[in-house]
Amino acid sequence: MKRRLAVVAALVAALTAAACGSNSDNSSTTSAGAGPTSAAATSAAATSAAATSDAGTSSAAGSDAGSADASATDTAASSGGAGGELPPINEATLDGAVVGFAQVGSESGWRSANTDDIKATAEKYKVDLQFTSAEGEQAKQIASIKTFITQGVDVIAFSPVVETGWDAVLQEAKAANIPVILTDRAVDSDPSLYKTFIGSDFIKEGEKAGNWAKTEFADADEVNYVVLEGTTGSAPANDRAEGWDNILGSETKFKKLASQTGKFTRDDGKKVMEGFLAKYPNIDLLYAHNDDMGLGAIEAIEAAGKVPGKDIKIVSVDAVKAGMEALAAGKINYIVECSPLLGEQLFQAVGGVLDGKEIPARVITIEGEFNQEQAKEALPTRKY
């Protein structure tokens, strides 16, 4: 347990924050360092940066647009302070801190990159990481969290499989005085039950995908499309559907032929797309809630004798390496980025909580968008 160090660090931080005149806004936007290099990505980041200042924070988050090697730490650490920003990494606090992390599973390339990043960052800061994987099952994830509570870890972090059903276990953690940090996905529980939620704005991701489709098919009279949804009940599946419908729901020429879960996996994406292809001969467009399902669908489309990216256009979310390669190869038409590199921010938050600092209740990751040309440019410096 690291509480003694924490008190000293908290004092130093309080003085620093006072000196920097840090604001008291309780949300923050920082980059996960995905490093979009394209013009479109740059303007996307700039928009997010504008949103940041609208929210009253003073982050320099947009400044890494166009640079492939900026990192979350660079951004957040340089602005520091309590309240509106995550505090900088405090290595002394993190060294030996016991953090229980309950991961969703290993359903996708995104998830593997996220797991690798969290493990590598924990190692870098000598955190004693207790890592479990729930294999996509909420019951297993709850059991892990209960074990962390019994063990008396310093902090519990998890990426919730689905949005609902967390109240009881979060209350247990609170009763045991163990702070909880959410990464990647949201829950519908009262925010007083956790310290912060670090991750993407999935509604915005869905809106970006919808906006691309609207422009791409501007001249078409009718667009028949299908959707491969993520894990049913998960925040990214709920919100990516909502964002898309925000843009296209009122566009009558866009006709949703079918929408079904492919569980964020390549195999299920392939199977469900096979079903769609057998039933609907006239699909113009596929919206896949992640790259992996899009990649599975590509196999199904090719097996059906059609050309992905041409006969059936594809837009997906994540921008993991395999997705970006398919985009550069012309098989996917557009990808909205969702960065899995949440490790730095997670351990900034862990350190802040252990140091007794106030941390923002919501940390939104800045992300770009890629067309085929932009994917070719970005691939050589892509970190995942």
Which residues lie near ligand GYE (CB under 6 A)? 107-108, 110-111, 184-185, 236, 264, 290, 292, 317-318, 338
C-alpha torsion sign, points 251, 257, 261, 265: negative
* Distance in angstroms (rounded) separating the CA atoms of residues 28 and 105: 27
Closest approach of Cβ 280 to ligand GYE, in Å?
25
* Distance in angstroms (rounded) separating the CA atoms of residues 377 and 374: 5
* Distance in angstroms (rounded) separating the CA atoms of residues 186 and 164: 9
If the CB atoms of residues 24 and 164 are measured against ligand GYE, the closer one turns out to be 164
* Distance in angstroms (rounded) separating the CA atoms of residues 270 and 358: 45
The partner residues of 103 in beta bridges, in order of sequence, read 133
If the CB atoms of residues 5 and 104 are measured against ligand GYE, the closer one turns out to be 104
If the CB atoms of residues 117 and 318 are measured against ligand GYE, the closer one turns out to be 318
In the structure encoding, which two tokens stand for residue 27, read together?
A: 């949300």
* Distance in angstroms (rounded) separating the CA atoms of residues 134 and 140: 5
Closest approach of Cβ 93 to ligand GYE, in Å?
28
If the CB atoms of residues 17 and 198 are measured against ligand GYE, the closer one turns out to be 198
Closest approach of Cβ 150 to ligand GYE, in Å?
27
Closest approach of Cβ 132 to ligand GYE, in Å?
17
In the structure encoding, which two tokens stand for residue 145, read together?
A: 């969290």
If the CB atoms of residues 291 and 358 are measured against ligand GYE, the closer one turns out to be 291
If the CB atoms of residues 202 and 254 are measured against ligand GYE, the closer one turns out to be 202
If the CB atoms of residues 163 and 358 are measured against ligand GYE, the closer one turns out to be 163
Closest approach of Cβ 290 to ligand GYE, in Å?
3
Closest approach of Cβ 107 to ligand GYE, in Å?
5
If the CB atoms of residues 195 and 240 are measured against ligand GYE, the closer one turns out to be 240
Radius of gyration, alpha carbons of the chain: 21
Closest approach of Cβ 83 to ligand GYE, in Å?
26
* Distance in angstroms (rounded) separating the CA atoms of residues 321 and 313: 19
Directed axis angle between helix 343-354 and helix 109-124, to 10°? 50
Residue with tokens 């970005």: 378
Beta carbons within 10 angstroms of residue 15's beta carbon: 10
If the CB atoms of residues 209 and 226 are measured against ligand GYE, the closer one turns out to be 209
Residue with tokens 């492939």: 68
* Distance in angstroms (rounded) separating the CA atoms of residues 329 and 302: 14
Closest approach of Cβ 244 to ligand GYE, in Å?
14
Residue with tokens 């130093």: 12
C-alpha torsion sign, points 297, 303, 305, 309: positive
Residue-wise DSSP of 326-351? HHHTTSS-EEEE-----HHHHHHHHH
